[in-house]
Structures are given as structure tokens and as C-alpha cells.
Amino acid sequence: MIDTLEALRERYPPAHGRSVAKQLSRLDHHCIAFIALAPFVVLATGASGEMDASPRGGPPGFVKVTAAGTLLLPDFPGNNRLDSLSNLVENDKIGLLFLIPGGDETLRVNGRASLSQEAPLLAHFAQEKRMPRLVIEVAVTEAYLHCAKALMRAKLWDPASSQMRSVLPTMGQMLNDHTGMQTLETQQEMEARYASDL
């Protein structure tokens, strides 16, 4: 078992060249353009030894970049577990992974987050179908474009890689097994319920 940084580093050559030089301490115009096109981001947070990765989505550019270079993520309606938000109350470190459909590169952003209900920040989302309850404001400490290898290996956007939803049980059936609660909601009914709450 590898349990020290020294033992880990012995297994790999050192990072060098562009993989090191590409890391920025702020968002540049390329990062800002990438975020403006991204309809999907994964939030990574952690506190008290627990970790959480949470998907967030919206129309391209739903994550805003302020003139000062901070990020504003709206907290749209969800399941109210508040896993990510609870972590951020305890530990303000956050990692973000932005994806653009059709593109194999991703944008990684790390920073420190605060939760805000301030009207000027909420006003950035006045045109949305629903106003967020709060905004996650991220002061960026690191930003860099991540190479395309992972998504290329996955062939994520290749239509030949797509799976029919029917290869899995319905979400209702899986949740019945996970929770022991018996519901009769069909996949179509669940999707319709979600659509009304987007």
C-alpha cells in the first residue's frame, strides 16, 4: 500500500512544462469564456472528514463571473440535503469542474467560498425562472484547463457511447430498493415532476 507522498511520487515522473505553468491564480479571458459556455459544473467540498461532489446545471453561463473575478453560483431548488452547503459553512474550500457539451477539455477552478443572501448578488439571477435562495460566491485561488484525455477515453460525447435510459431500472424502482419506501411513480412521471421544478 502506498501511504506516503514520497512513495507515491516514486511511482510517477515529476510534473513539468505546461502541466505546471498553465495553473493561474485568477480567471483569465479564456477561463471566463469557458465558464460562459458551460451549462454544467461539479462542486467538490469537504468538512469533518467527509467529502461531497455535487452536480449543478443551468443554461450556458448560469455561473456568473463578476468584474472582480469572483464566481457566483446560484443555489437553485434541489433535494434540500444541503450536503455541499453544509460543508462550506464548516470549510470554505471548494473545487469546481466545468464541462461544455461536445468539448473534451474541462476547466478546473479552486477557491474559497462564502454563502450569501445579499440582494446585489442575487440580482445577477433576476432573469432566471426562479430566484436562488442563496449564492455561492467563490474567490478564485487556482484555475487551469484540464487536458482532454479523460473525456476522450470515455468517448463522452460520442453518440455511439450513449446508453438507452431503459438499460437501468426506473429511478423510482432504484429508490424503492434503496429506501424500502414503495412508490408507484413511473420514470415519465418523475421526469415531469422534475421539469416543473427546474
| All structural domains of the chain with their residue ranges | 13-154, 163-195
Residues above pLDDT 70, as percent of the chain: 100
Check the CA dihedral 130-100-147-29 and report its sign.
Answer: negative
| Residue 170: per-residue pLDDT | 84
Report yes or no: 52 and 78 within 8 Å, Cβ to Cβ. no
Single pTM value for the model: 0.91
pLDDT at 196: 74
Q: Tell me what pLDDT residue 25 has.
A: 94
| Overall residue count recorded for the chain in this entry | 198
Q: What 3-state DSSP class applies to 101? A: coil
- What fold, for 13-154? Pnp Oxidase; Chain A (2.30.110)
- β-bridge partners, 57: 40
C-alpha atoms less than 13 angstroms from C-alpha of 195 in its C-beta half-sphere: 6
pLDDT score at 49: 85
Q: State how far the Cα of 88 lies from the Cα of 92, in Å rounded to an integer.
A: 5
pLDDT at 189: 82
Residues of the chain with pLDDT below 70 are none
Half-sphere exposure for 54 (CA within 13 Å, toward CB): 21
Residue 100 gets which letter from DSSP? -
